[in-house]
Structure 1
Amino acid sequence: MNYTATNNLDPSLYQYKTRIGVVCVWIVASIIGLVGNSLVIWSVILSKKLRTVTNAFVVNLSVADFWTSLSYPWISVALLSHGSWPMELEVPCVIAAIQLYTGLGASLYTLASIALNRMVLITQTTNTYSCWYTPRKVAVMIATTWVIPCVVTFLPLLLGIGSIGYDPQDNTICSDKDGHPRGPEYNLAQSVGLYPVPMLIVICCYTALYIHLKRHFRKQKKRNSMQGKPSVCGDVEASSCLTCDDYRNNTSHVVAKTRLAISHQQLAITKNLFLVFCVFTVLLSPYFISLAVPSSRKFALYGVTIAILNSCVNPIIYTINHPQFKVVLRKIILCRYSDIPEPSNFLKSVLTLQRN
């Protein structure tokens, strides 16, 4: 569809010095995002210990962040241009816009999938969890985290709502074109299609998880106070609701209870993934709010610049806090591949070749 940009908008919405400063942030985020998320993906390739259902979603989150980070160099080119796309073809800018929208959307829906996974794992029985998370169903869930953002990105365009590429009105990033007659509708479609649903899922799941944990530990505290005995026996955590005498006198009872117990490691993983969600929410919310509110158009560049920092933050969180990933990631960073726990067949083959 052909359209003419309106003349009532300032073509210099952002000063060139401001854009240079923003570009520095984008370049740093691109480097850290590409390297950091590559390390997360490689850690799962090199260690069998990390090949769990939850980590399948974690890897998908890293793939989404890596995919998004690939767009940052081209967006930086757009930010440094003077009134028009500096290359003959605008295709790289269009691809960068697609990467930005689909990557951010996939990250949001993956966080929703992770929250649902943690809730089911901790609040439901092992059989229920196994039924929900078969390899085929997990593959479908992961595919869905990409299909929805693709639909939200491409369907409005096919219907003539909005346009993506270099935005000549603002001389800014590769995204939707504000000069399009239906540009605000496209912004609204992005905001509504990518933000509220996954956020609602995450909030509901973590709220249900919090309520479950609160009730669970309240019962343990009450039961332990009535028994007047210590709540931990060797390696058996307090969450198993067993005293030492219970463990020694009734092994079958212990087995049944420990299957439903919330292990210390699972709680640590859940807390770490909840931290990932909190950071993501803080960084991404300003951008999606700016899309939904037309009057905040000038803030959009700063909002998306804050949002892209999420692509490089997650690997840092995993390295510092995640009880499983931090061990493997540190071994990779230190090039101590032989110390990686439960090495994969691929890593074993590489190590064998090195020795020979």
Structure 2
Amino acid sequence: MVTDGWLWVPIKWNWWMKIQMATAVVGILGNLLVIVLLFQRRKKSRATDTLIGALATADFVTSIFMIPLPTAERVPMTILGEVYCRLIFSKFLLFSSSAASIMALTSIAIERYIAVVHPLRCKELLSRRRIRTAIVLTWILGVTLYTPLLYTNFRNPQQECEWGFPSREIQILIGVGLFSTQFLIPMIVSLTVHGLTARTLHRKANLYLGENKNPDANPSLRHVIAKKRVLQTLFLVIMFFIICWGPIQTGYMLFDLGIIPVTFVGSTIQHVFIILALWNSCANPFIYAIRYPEFRKAIRELFNPNRNDASLFGDRGVNSSPFRTNVL
């Protein structure tokens, strides 16, 4: 279809486009549910709730940009055509929001570490102002990291959107840089602080078990159990992030290094890796529902005016049996 210098190609609903559309719908609905539940409890929310809300928001935005759109095969020689190539064709918005999601996940891991390992300074270090600043920084960092896409995607003299690098060295620099900042460093930081947090919780659980093995009569043990449940849920989120993003991030880096051929771009394996990465944006609500009883209860009470509006992911004391006090 030709309109004012634009030549639009309709969406080809092949298998990966259908899966991408389904993933987008599930991601939008699932993350919107998380946002609504946390918004209802905003007055009593804690740092964890706020950061998980930021993660859900980033995944929600990512899911919106995931929706397939018609492609412009020819663009006009105008500023609008140039903007399309650099902003839409490059998928800059999709990658930036997914980067913000990864940064938010890393922030949650660090927040859990501070809350468990440094409880006396928790209120000071995790004040509302600092948490909001951290959320803003996740978006600034996400947008900044993918700014090179605005320069490596452009409109050529034939009025087509094209991608390319000014030099081989810059391609390698961008490839290694994005792999490090979007996968390797977040993975190392998240797993490291998670391990340190789990070790501290394990020690505290053993200490409080020695005092009284009945959680109902031991408030300190109840808080350890609450922290443990949040930590276990976070661990699954981190592992799913590694599984989903690992293949495509590794594939892009190997392509930029010249280890795998240019045929990787547009290949079936690339589409499989992309779909796997996009699944990460719709998986977290399911993980919360499967692993976190309070989340399932909040869903049941969604339209109940007499619902309990306490912190959803905060360190509330919970009833549990001594059998479930083993900490990761």
TM bracket (short chain): 0.7 to 0.9
The residue number in structure 1 matching 2:273 is 303
The residue number in structure 2 matching 1:203 is 191
The runs of at least 4 aligned residues of structure 1 exceeding 4 Å deviation read: 86-93, 178-183, 218-221
Give 1:118-197 correspondences, 5 Å limit: 118-125=112-119, 127-154=120-147, 156-157=148-149, 160=151, 162-163=152-153, 177=163, 184-185=171-172, 186-197=174-185
The residue number in structure 1 matching 2:62 is 68
Deviation of 1:236 (Å): 1.5
Give 1:254-269 correspondences, 5 Å limit: 262-269=223-230
Unmatched segments (≥5 aa) in structure 2:
1-10, 312-328
Helix, strand or coil at the partner of 2:14 = helix
The residue number in structure 1 matching 2:232 is 271
* Bigger CA radius of gyration: 1
Cα deviations by residue, 1:55-77 (Å, 9 ceiling, x for unpaired): 11101111111111111224x53
Deviation of 1:272 (Å): 1.0
Distance 1:340 1:87 in 2: 53
Match of 1:24 among 6, 9, 18: 18
The residue number in structure 2 matching 1:214 is 202
Q: Which amino acid aligns with 1:191?
A: F
Using structure 1 for the length normalisation, give the TM-score: 0.69
Unmatched segments (≥5 aa) in structure 1:
1-15, 79-83, 225-229, 241-260, 345-356
Cα deviations by residue, 1:171-217 (Å, 9 ceiling, x for unpaired): 9xx9x935775583444332233222222210110111122233334
Q: Which amino acid aligns with 1:123?
A: V
Q: Which amino acid aligns with 2:308?
A: P
Distance 1:179 1:31 in 2: 34
Match of 1:232 among 210, 214, 222: 214
Give 1:264-343 correspondences, 5 Å limit: 264-294=225-255, 295=260, 297=264, 298=267, 299-332=269-302, 336-342=303-309
Alpha-carbon spacing, 1:164–1:328, altered in 2? closer, same or farther (3 Å): farther
Q: Is the 8 A contact 1:47 1:328 kept in 2?
A: no
Deviation of 1:108 (Å): 1.1
The residue number in structure 1 matching 2:41 is 47
Q: Which amino acid aligns with 1:129?
A: C
Helix, strand or coil at the partner of 1:266 = helix
Alpha-carbon spacing, 1:219–1:45, altered in 2? closer, same or farther (3 Å): closer
Helix, strand or coil at the partner of 1:85 = strand
Aligned pair count? 282
Q: Is the 8 A contact 1:44 1:50 kept in 2?
A: no
Using structure 2 for the length normalisation, give the TM-score: 0.74
CA-atom RMSD, angstroms?
3.3
Distance 1:67 1:266 in 2: 29
Helix, strand or coil at the partner of 2:73 = coil
Distance 1:327 1:71 in 2: 30
Alpha-carbon spacing, 1:321–1:179, altered in 2? closer, same or farther (3 Å): same
Deviation of 1:21 (Å): 0.5
Cα deviations by residue, 1:280-300 (Å, 9 ceiling, x for unpaired): 111111111111101173433
